[in-house]
Amino acid sequence: MGKIKFFLFVILSSLWGCISGNVNGTSQEEKGGKDSLYYPIDSIPSNGNKVHICKSEDGNMKFYSWDTGMGRTSPSYAVLCQFRTKDGKSSIEVFCVKEDEEPAWVSKVHSIKRNDGTTYYIIARSFRASSNDGYMYMDALVIDNDTLKNVSVLDGSDDLDECGLEINYSISDWYYATNGDGWDWLFEYDSRTKDLYVPIIAHTKESCPVVSDRYKLYHFNGKEFFYKGESPHKGLYASLSNYKRLVKYFRTKNYIVRVDEMEGGACRYASWKSSSGMSEMPELVILGGKYDEKEDSYTFVNDGVEYIVGYIEDKPISDGSFEHHEFLMIRKDGNVLLKEERISNTD
């Protein structure tokens, strides 16, 4: 899969002895039949950093990704790919898609089985060029005897001339727009429907392009992925599908709130009970909202009632600094009817 840069070789060289001695052996978990590609995480020299593991649906390919700690605003990642060779053995190798390329974090891997019985694998990768300059890619692989080979995402062929399966975007914009919940929405493959969602970038006045939460939709027909057209957020209630881009989404104790920018610049508010989801009919929809740049909030009015999404309060903490709190506030004639804090995605 290409040459490994020297710094990565140094980090992983201590690992190869463990791999050579253990990867073809039988682990306790394998004996139990739980995971035939089991590999002991404590054998990976991750310096205590969390190792992210993702596995294909057919169980024949697995990725291990971690931050080496050698980067700053542009992290240096290390990635291993473990897979089952054509002769049934388990193999593992340091993973880079292109020669002399920096490894990129592999977040997802899916097995794509074609009608002719062959299988190839699509993976989602991410890389941060700076603190706010993000890249995501979708690539495809086949197991070529005892090694890996890069192929086309759309049909698993050797033709790699593809467009639209790579994005450059503002990390902070997408994080704050989705409350940190939106990473799994990017390059999402639904193995049940065989639909692939490739994110569309909205080029706005910001210096860095932003993710719109609209997608190029591809469907796998057993032979290849074919383009079906532009799609809104997967599963979003049908009457809400006409929007330019998502600008705010979060949950509170009792509500799910979504604010979309419409064509022309106006905003739309939609909310659901927290026990529901965006695929259901929203409890309330309000058009014509306005953005307050100073307060970084969106205000909507319905029958004399104000709905403020992103109402901010800064509360002092022990060291003299302030802690940021964000709310959904509903009020009428100056009286607060509801005030619920945004729930962090880590809660």
State the Cα–Cα distance between residues 101 and 80, nearest whole angstrom. Answer: 14
Position 34 scores a pLDDT of: 57
Instruction: Please indicate whether residue 112 or residue 103 has the higher confidence score (pLDDT).
Output: 112
* Count of domains forming the chain: 2
Question: Is residue 292 domain-resident?
Answer: yes
The two three-digit tokens of residue 175, written as one number: 């994080």
| Pair 109, 250 in one domain | no
Alpha-carbon gap, residue 284 to 206, rounded angstroms: 30
pTM of the model: 0.85
What is the reported pLDDT for 40? 80
**Average pLDDT rounded to a whole number, residues 180-188:** 94
Q: Are residues 162 and 248 in the same domain?
A: no
The pLDDT of 159-177, averaged and rounded, is: 86
Residue 218: inside a domain, yes or no?
A: no
Q: Answer with the residue of higher pLDDT: 12 or 260.
A: 260
Output the pLDDT for position 335: 96
Residue 93 falls within a domain, yes or no?
yes
Model confidence at 18, pLDDT cuts 50, 70, 90, reads very low
Instruction: Flag whether pLDDT at 87 surpasses 70.
Output: yes
Question: Are 24 and 171 part of one and the same domain?
Answer: yes
Whole-number Å distance between alpha carbons of 273 and 105: 35
**40 plus 133 within the same structural domain:** yes
Domain presence at residue 222: no
Do both 119 and 261 map to the same domain? Answer: no
pLDDT higher than 80, residue 192: yes
CB 289 within 8 A of CB 216: no
User: Is 60 exceeded by the pLDDT of residue 171?
Assistant: yes
What pLDDT does 45 receive?
80
- The pLDDT value given to residue 107: 96
Write down which residue in 181, 215, 232 finishes a domain.
181
Categorize the per-residue pLDDT at 49 as very low, low, confident or very high, splitting at 50, 70 and 90.
confident
**Token pair 């532009």: residue:** 230
**pLDDT given for residue 195 in this prediction:** 98
Based on the domain organization, do 66 and 166 belong to the same domain?
yes
| Domain endpoint, select from 149, 181, 213 | 181
Residue 317 belongs to a domain: yes
Residue 27 has what pLDDT? 34
Residue 256 lies in a domain: yes
DSSP string, 15-73: HHHHHHHHTTS--HHHHTTS-TT---GGGS--TTPPPEEEE-TTSSEEEEEEE-S--SS
Q: Please indicate whether residue 88 or residue 73 has the higher confidence score (pLDDT).
A: 88
Average pLDDT score over the chain = 86
Give the pLDDT confidence of 194-241 residue by residue, as tens digits.
999 999 998 766 567 899 999 999 999 999 999 999 999 999 999 999
21/162 same-domain check: yes
- Residue 141: domain span: 6-181
Structural domain includes residue 271: yes
Of the three residues 128, 156, 181, the one that is the final residue of a domain is: 181
Q: Is residue 28 part of a domain?
A: yes
Do 158 and 59 lie in a common domain? Answer: yes
